[in-house]
Structure 1
Amino acid sequence: MPPRRLIIAITGATGFVYGARALEMLRPLEIETHLVVSKSAELTRRYETGITREQLFALADEVHPVGDIGASLASGSFRTLGMLVAPCSIKTMSEIATGTTTNLISRAADVVLKERRRLVLMLRETPLHLGHLRTMTSLTEMGAIMFPPVPAFYARPTTLEEMVDHSVARALDLFDIDIDGMPRWGENLHPPGRA
């Protein structure tokens, strides 16, 4: 049985915590994580979090430099479950949609699409103009899943961490990765008046 591998890419859009939290959630599972961080994401990490570069890299099984177009992730013969881009910037989304592979993030995403594997983009932008929407449609037609991290209030989150965790766990659901303790409607969450 081939190893269960997942590519995690972090781009410069706001929401660095989504990618970092995905790595934390995957750490105890038997899933090999391959991390790619854009140059802009390095800036966002410093603005938005107290996570050091070393702490982030320690969460992944393997870290690939964003400029390494010859990395294993750039080949379809390197088998993975797919790729989660968390967060995904408009720039990265646009590169993926047009096949413009200027770095390892857009190249790995292109490989995931051509191999018909799962590509989930946690797009972080609002409001969206028509060009953004058309690009999202194009990517959806190519097989990608657009997954803006929208909070689910039915779980009655009381902290920002709970909102982040729910979004990340739902994104990982798309790879058939089950995160223990995630509140699910109809299982451990029920409509009012139902047991």
Structure 2
Amino acid sequence: MNHKLDVLQPALEAALAGKIKSLVRDHGELTLTVAAADYAAAALTLRDHPTLKFEQLLDLCGLDYSAYKDGVFEGPRYCVVSHLLSVTHNWRLRLKVFAPDDSLPMVASVTEVWNSANWFEREAFDLYGIVFDGHVDLRRILTDYGFIGHPFRKDFPVSGHVEMRYDPERKRVIYQPVTIEPREIIPRVIREDNYGGLH
């Protein structure tokens, strides 16, 4: 048994009463899911409540659940997952929130709570199209300024929509439609009885 989780779990249930959608304990970790409407308030409570004191946000990322469990997942498509650390109490927590609208996935920004969320939220916006309401500088961080779409979405084509190359005649970078021929590559299967073994 993990004594820290035995203390943390009831502390979360007491401090966030009414805001918890689910609290799952699995593989020695706790995962807390809250509604999008409660996300900002829950983040403040997690940071400021004396029995919790999650001072640090270590990571934040987006997820696309559209093909989760071979497409049998029922629920919102886009999720934001954060990993929190309490230096004071030496415990960790995974915090999840689902964006309620798949056509415009939006959740509150937590940059005012943990400033380390800034670039993580920009990355989730860039790669998944999740909008963080209240973020002061929400713009692309990894893809090009003129990039169209969000490349980590499950429905984004593997080859993309356009490609970029340097044109020596124009002496600049140009964009053009993708020239890659889509093909299916089937790996070679070796069925020799003693392949790789000692003879």
The verdict on a shared fold, with TM-score over 0.5 as the criterion, is: no
Q: Larger Cα Rg: Structure 1 or Structure 2?
A: 2
The structure that is strand-richer by fraction is 2
Give TM-score scaled by structure 1 length: 0.24
The structure that is helix-richer by fraction is 1
